[in-house]
Amino acid sequence: MESVELIAVGPRSSTVPVSFEITDGEEAGLRMKFSGRDWQSFTASNLFRCLLSARAELEAEQLLLCCQGARPDVFPSGMQQQMENGRYAAVLSGSVGEEEVVDIFASAEPSQVTSVEAQRVAVYHFFNLPLSDTGGDA
């Protein structure tokens, strides 16, 4: 199990420390603790999907998590989700050449991150896909 400390940014640029425990095994798992609350657990097919669920919980408290996985231009390919358990993701750019890959749990500046829904919309636009009204994962 790996521990990661990040921050979340809230209204009026207030910051809240957020602790994570990452389990990268057959079933991906993530535990999150913030603001004196009990640990919350998330399991999914890969770590990126666990992170999406954790971010949704933070967003319910008007907090955006400041990590690379919360950037609107970051999304793991299908191969990254399977082979790397969603821990690493590509930075989506129109440039031809070498692909930049980031650790989704690496910290990011507050100005670089967005909500789960805004990230989904950005990914759909990047790949020129029609947006559905159902929302959900990016």
Ordered per-residue pLDDT tens for the chain, 138 residues? 899 999 999 988 999 999 999 998 778 899 999 988 999 999 999 999 999 999 999 999 999 999 999 999 999 998 898 888 999 999 998 766 677 999 999 999 999 999 999 999 999 999 889 987 555 545
d(CA 46, CA 28): 5
d(CA 51, CA 122): 17
Q: In what order do the strands lie in the sheet with 15-23?
A: 40-44, 28-34, 15-23, 2-9, 64-65
Its pTM stands at: 0.89
Q: What one-letter code names the amino acid at 48?
A: F
